[in-house]
Structure 1
Amino acid sequence: MSEPMAKLSVLSVQLFTILFLCMTASAVSTLEGNVDVIIIGAGMAGISAGKTLTEKGITNFIILEATDKIGGRIRNTDFGGYKVELGANWVEGVNGKELNPIWALARQVKLQTTLFDQSNLSSNVYTASGALPPQTDVDAVTTARNDYITSLGESLSANRDHDISVLTAERLYGSVPSAPVELALDYFLYDYEFAEPPRVTSLKNTQPLPTFENFGEDSYFAADPRGFAAILQPVASYLKSENGKYVDPRLKLQKVVNKIVYTKHGVTVSTEDGSTYTAKAAILTVSLGVLQSKLIDFQPDLPFWKLEAIFEFDMAVYTKIFLKFPYKFWRTDNGTELFLYADDSRGYYPVWQHLEREFPGSNISFVTVTDDESRRIEQQSDDKTLAEIMEVLKSMFGPNIPEAEEILVPRWWSNRLFKGSFSNWPIGVSLHDFAQLQAPIKRLYFGGEHTSALYNGYIQGAYFSGIDAAKEVVKCLKHGKCLSGPMKDQRLENQSSCTEPI
């Protein structure tokens, strides 16, 4: 064979090899077509983003959801013959001067709820010996101090003073909880709300809370056989459904995003099953915990200012441990739905709630733990957790109570698709830092409750954040006003409010 022919033969083999490799790669990674927008995550933020895009005339989008249903951290499961909520469970902020959009959705779908009654909590505190402390002693621990702390938080915001922690405020007041009963009540007031202790939580950005200041002090507990996620139905009405199931081809379930390539011209998103999607823009609504993990490979790497904001903010862990007993042994008279356990160790199985009002005769109760206790419990067996819980219950109600028949321990921190329950605003994070958390990068936009300056950690925060991110995408795609980089602080003041239509 001549030398030219030999070279041609070698070149043919190389071309065949390249063609074969390309065909193989194509079989593994299927490009599923261009769309205008990719929404990553079908929680409240992702679903409200899709609704806003639809209303603004952009319908050529897809929603990639890592789990098998919409709702994100609004999730329930079967337990003891009932549906219990693993994640979001309350509509917080009701009966105030403004209408909470989540409460409007709950009323629209006739969600079954009960008023969260905390009125008699101070008379329902158990010590390790089972004794109940006098109500006057308990009330004296909290009332004046809490009024002072709220007032101090308002003053810091009004005067634009530097932030301090809630614990610092308690020290300034001269009353830092130390006795078991004081610690239990302090836990209920702060950890139970923010899932992190007062030494971590920002005073300026949590006291007073906009959720309660704007929407009202009442909270309603959801206990509906359809699940709390029923509130998503009006928001997701743009998705085609049949017999109560979503069949819209734009909603793609069990698509775990593991790579995002973003430029000033568009975004390419890859999933663990080998699919690839391209779009002019993407809205990323995964949890803050996922952003802090290595689940998604960003190309190029996220800029330092964005990473700094992501890692400055906290992804808290809030765990409700459900138990079913053969019969109830706790009080069920008015005002006893909630009861506290005052242990020497702060946060050790502290806040209890029975479900006799919601599920009469169910004999189900649950205990809430947070933060390091949540992480500790997630790493041990359910049998070990049950043994610890029964020891606590027997110290509260006596040794003759029945053993639990079932236990359910959610593991939000261990779940790689969530890596926690909700975000908390910690000490040291300024409004400017928060603006970095929200800011888009080229054609990649960010949503989720952690990007809501007013309502981070709450469902309404997720709802508004989806609206805000979608509006920015519309400005970019329809009007050429494509923002990129850190937001200015004043833009936070123009976020969607409760006046947005449902």
Structure 2
Amino acid sequence: MKRRTFLLGTASGFSVLALAACVEPEQTPVPTTSPAPTTLTPSLVPQPLAVSRTNWSTDPFSRGSFSYAAVGATPEHRVALGQAVDARVFFAGEATAVDEPGTVQGARASGLLAAGRVQDVAAPGERITIVGAGIAGITAARQLVNAGYDVVVIEARDRIGGRIDTVSSDWPFPIERGPSFVHRTSDNFLDDELTTLGVSLLPFVRTPEVRTRAGAVVEVSTLGAEAVAGALDWAADQQQDVSVERALIDSGEAKLSSTRNADGLSDADWLEYEIATKLKVETGATPSQQSAWYTTDIGSADDDQIVIGGYSTLLKSDADGLELLLSSVVNRVAHDDGGVSLRLGTGESLSADRVILTVPLGVLQTAAIEFSPALPFAHRGAIAALGMGVLDKVWLRFDEPFWDTEARLWTIVGEDADFPVWVNMMPLTGEPILMGVVAAENATRLSELDDDEFLSAALTALEPFLAVPDAAVSDE
């Protein structure tokens, strides 16, 4: 399985969260604002001027951030999920991508593949409905429209993009609540496409500045990465798949010293660091949930780029001229030899010859859409086997920097920080803006907090990066 390039990366490589838009029964997304709590733990970090957070796990139109290989899941499950049903119901989206699942390029490739499969069986001029206006859905729609088909795209949200969500208002440059990075691979030319569309991309240096809770800058140890690599090698020789956690324990790789050195860190701390800043961030899941056979390859890359000028430009270009039906939730899909029928949350129904569903795995796992007849066993098995990870971002804009480091990537070692990875936008844009990431069980826990509590947790996690004022010199 190829290295993912998803929403936010880590010390060893950045990724691009690329997930198709989704649908669900009629619901209202959870608002991001709520009454301030009566008591909050004060932070030494100053209050920001602007805040933007995501909450993908509670969003009724996503139910998670991106798919991952859970224990027992295999690439064949993704293949099964992507198969057409009776040449009427087709599937696309990052969860169906064998190569680069959970990514913009994986989702986009799945849209092209689904559109091609429709063209193989559809007569010219047929009516094709696409559910979801994320990158997979828009890509499929564009290809089919260009091929002469009658296409309508139905989207639950009031905008296109799904989890590609660019916000420009109240910020000095467009911020990305979804994808932020592009990683160049042999078959991925998103950077060229974005550049052609006038979107600014900047090279991103992945070497992190690592700090302890006390704020001390320490050199990265390879002990954690070596332990994980050893555990995965051990797991590859076993008769059946186990979790990454089980592989670490049973292989003996987890037996690292807890004796602290002069920096207050132990060998075991570096294993926790590897898990927090890489494994959890890359999958949105804990080691106990991740497959040791098919866990994400988190190897290094040398050509990551950060998107500054608006990732959504990519979708807007492809969506130009498409027939879009926004704010329309699909809650039932029925098909027979004569075609397909889709029921909306309003009670209305739409008919088409065929449908492409770009529904996120998390929505499928909640059985939010009724299928008639029921999906084949292979599809249901794939939906149950694959995991849906959780990763959220927070953007903070300050009046002036409270930090004194020029490092672009910040990480924290020696504690279970809620936000173990931060991106410093100051060296890139000249603006005192930070982007933090929270993943796996910490993201799930923080998803239940209101905005003030969530911000308090983020500011507390930033305290190791507070600038230390020079000691006052006095002759008295």
Q: TM-score range by the shorter chain?
A: 0.5 to 0.7
Deviations 1:399-442 (A, max 9, x none): 99xxxxxxxxxxxxxxxxxxxxxxxxxxxxxxxxxxxxxxxxxx
Partner of 2:304: 219
1:283 Cα deviation after fit: 0.6
Which runs of structure 2 are paired with 1:5-154 in the superposition (5 Å)?
Answer: 36-55=127-146, 57-77=147-167, 78-92=169-183, 94=184, 96=185, 98-119=186-207, 121=208, 124-133=209-218, 135=219, 138-142=220-224, 144-145=226-227, 148=230
In structure 1, the gaps of 5 or more residues are 1-33, 241-247, 401-502
- Distance of 1:338 and 1:164 partners within structure 2: 32
**Aligned residue for 2:98?**
none
TM-score by length of 2: 0.63
Among 163, 166, 171, the alignment partner of 2:244 is: 166
CA 151–220 in structure 1, closer or farther in 2 if over 3 Å, else same: farther
1:452 matched residue in structure 2: none
The size of the alignment, in residue pairs, is 333
Query: Which has more radius of gyration?
Result: 1
**In the alignment, which residue of structure 1 is the partner of 2:289?**
200
What's the counterpart of residue 290 of structure 1?
363
**Structure 2 residue matching 1:82: 3-state secondary structure:** coil
1:299-322 C-alpha deviation (Å, 9 max, x unpaired)? 334344433321221111111111
Out of 375, 380, 392, which is 2:444 matched to? 375
Q: Which amino acid aligns with 1:339?
A: W
Kindly state the Cα deviation for residue 49 of structure 1 after the two structures are TM-superposed: 1.3
Structure 2: runs of 5 or more not aligned? 1-124, 259-267, 470-476
**Structure 1 segment 293-442 matched on structure 2, within 5 A:** 293-333=366-406, 336-345=407-416, 347-360=417-430, 362-397=431-466
Name the TM-score, length of structure 1 as normaliser: 0.60
Please list the CA deviations of residues 371-420 of structure 1 after superposition, one character each: whole Å capped at 9, or x if unmatched: 222222221121122223333333542799xxxxxxxxxxxxxxxxxxxx
- The within-5 A match list for 1:246-265 is 248=322, 250-265=323-338
**Structure 1 residue 234: deviation in Å?**
5.1
CA contact (8 A) 1:51 1:235 kept: yes
Q: Deviations over 1:8-38 (max 9, x none)?
A: xxxxxxxxxxxxxxxxxxxxxxxxxx95211
CA pair 176-385 structure 1, distance change in 2 beyond 3 A? farther
Flag the 1:291–1:192 CA change in 2: closer, same or farther, 3 A. Answer: same
Structure 1 counterpart SS, 2:333:
strand
Structure 1 pair 218–188 and aligned structure 2 pair: CA distance change class (3 A): farther
Measured in 2, the distance between the counterparts of 1:269 and 1:390 equals 45
CA shift for structure 1 position 170: 3.4
Asked if the contact 1:127/1:181 (under 8 Å) is kept, the reply is: no
* Matches of 2:222 and 2:388, distance apart in 1: 33
Whole-Å Cα distance in 1 between the matches of residues 325 and 463 of structure 2? Answer: 48
Asked if the contact 2:334–2:340 (Cα under 8 Å) also holds between the matched residues in 1, the reply is yes
Q: 1:184 aligns with which of 252, 258, 273?
A: 273
* The one of 218, 222, 230 aligned to 2:313: 230
Distance across 1 between alignment mates of 2:437 and 2:424: 11
Query: How large is the Cα RMSD of the aligned pairs?
Result: 3.0
Structure with greater helix percent: 1
Fraction of identical pairs, as percent: 26
CA contact (8 A) 2:204 2:304 kept: yes
C-alpha spacing 1:399/1:143, structure 2 compared with 1 (3 Å): closer
SS at match of 1:262: strand
Q: Residue type matched to 1:128 in 2?
A: R
Q: What letter corresponds to residue 115 of structure 1 in structure 2?
A: P
Q: Counterparts of 2:412 and 2:427 in 1: how far apart (Å)?
A: 21
